[in-house]
C-alpha cells in the first residue's frame, strides 16, 4: 500500500488535475507514480518537464528505456523496473534487451557504451574518471550524448527514490526476475 496518497484524476483539482489529464492524454492511463507525485503539482510538473525535454534529445526512446532499466536495477526500484520493462517493450526492446539492460550491458556496442556509462554515473555518484569518459568517447559517445545520459540517470534516480519513499503501488506487470550469469 502506497505511503503517499495517489490522487485520482477524476477528483483532482487545479494544476494537479491539468497535469494528470495531460498524462492520461499522452499515455492513455495515469500511472500510480504520477498520481502520487500530484500531491505536489510542482514535483509532477518538474518530472514531466524533464522527461519531455529529454524525449526531444538525441538519445532514442530505446536508449532512454535501457538507461532507466539499468538505473532501476542498480537502485532496486521494483516500480520502475516494472514500468520500464513494459514501456521498453512498447518502444521495441526485446525481453533479452530488457534483461541485458538491467544487467548493465548490451550486445549492441553503442547501447552497451550508453548503459555502461549510465551505470558508472550511478555507481560512482557522478564522479566518473577520465578513463571512463575516454572509454565512452572511444565507443562513439559525444559530449551531447554524455550530457543526456547524465540527465537521464538523474531523472531515473529521482523516480527510483520517489517510489522508494512512496512505496508506490505497482500498476504495471511485474518485471521478470533477473538471472545474473556467473563469471568463470
Q: What is the pLDDT of residue 1?
A: 83
- The answer to whether the beta carbons of residues 49 and 34 sit under 8 Å apart is no
Instruction: Using alpha carbons, select from 96, 95, 104, 34 the residue that is nearest to residue 73.
Output: 104
**Once rounded to an integer, what is the mean pLDDT over residues 144-161?**
98
**Once rounded to an integer, what is the mean pLDDT over residues 18-23?**
94
Please provide the size of the chain in residues: 184
Q: What is the mean pLDDT of the chain?
A: 94
User: Cell triple for residue 34?
Assistant: 504520477
Quote the DSSP letter at residue 169.
P
* Angstrom distance (rounded) from CA 117 to CA 66: 12
User: Is residue 178 predicted with pLDDT exceeding 90?
Assistant: no
User: Within its chain, how far is the Cα of 104 from the centroid?
Assistant: 14
- The answer to whether the beta carbons of residues 146 and 117 sit under 8 Å apart is yes
pLDDT-derived band at 73 (thresholds 50, 70, 90) equals very high
The per-residue pLDDT for range 101-146, each reduced to its tens digit, is 999 999 999 999 999 999 999 999 999 999 999 999 999 999 999 9
Q: What is the pLDDT of residue 176?
A: 77
* Angstrom distance (rounded) from CA 5 to CA 32: 9
Buried b / exposed e across 85-107, counting CB within 10 Å, b at 16+?
bbbbeeeebeeebbbbbbbbbbe
- The answer to whether the beta carbons of residues 93 and 184 sit under 8 Å apart is no
How many Cα atoms sit within 13 Å of 128 on the Cβ side? 19
User: Is residue 76 predicted with pLDDT exceeding 70?
Assistant: yes
Q: What is the pLDDT of residue 39?
A: 97
8: left (phi over 0), alpha (psi -120 to 50) or beta: beta
Q: Rg of the chain's alpha carbons, rounded to an integer? A: 17
All structural domains of the chain, each given as residue ranges with its CATH number in brackets, are 14-55 (no CATH), 61-166 (1.20.1290.10)
The per-residue pLDDT for range 83-107, each reduced to its tens digit, is 999 999 999 999 999 999 999 999 9
The per-residue pLDDT for range 54-64, each reduced to its tens digit, is 999 999 999 99
pLDDT-derived band at 181 (thresholds 50, 70, 90) equals low
pLDDT-derived band at 184 (thresholds 50, 70, 90) equals very low
Amino acid at each position: 500500500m502506497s505511503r503517499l496518497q495517489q490522487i485520482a484524476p477524476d477528483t483532482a483539482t487545479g494544476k494537479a488535475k491539468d497535469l494528470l489529464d495531460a498524462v492520461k492524454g499522452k499515455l492513455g492511463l495515469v500511472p500510480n507514480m504520477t498520481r502520487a507525485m500530484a500531491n505536489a503539482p510542482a514535483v509532477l510538473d518538474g518530472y514531466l518537464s524533464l522527461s519531455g525535454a529529454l524525449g526531444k534529445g538525441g538519445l532514442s526512446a530505446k536508449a532512454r528505456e535501457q538507461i532507466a532499466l539499468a538505473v532501476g536495477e542498480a537502485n532496486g526500484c521494483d516500480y520502475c523496473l516494472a514500468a520500464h520493462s513494459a514501456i521498453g517493450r512498447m518502444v521495441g526492446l526485446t525481453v533479452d534487451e530488457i534483461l541485458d539492460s538491467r544487467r548493465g550491458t548490451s550486445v549492441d556496442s553503442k547501447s552497451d557504451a550508453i548503459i555502461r556509462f549510465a551505470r558508472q554515473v550511478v555507481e560512482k555518484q557522478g564522479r566518473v574518471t577520465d578513463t571512463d569518459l575516454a572509454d565512452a568517447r572511444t565507443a562513439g559517445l559525444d559530449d551531447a550524448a554524455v550530457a543526456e545520459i547524465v540527465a537521464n540517470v538523474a531523472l531515473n534516480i529521482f523516480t527510483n527514490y520517489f517510489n522508494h519513499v512512496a512505496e508506490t503501488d505497482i500498476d504495471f506487470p511485474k518485471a521478470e526476475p533477473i538471472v545474473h550469469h556467473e563469471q568463470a
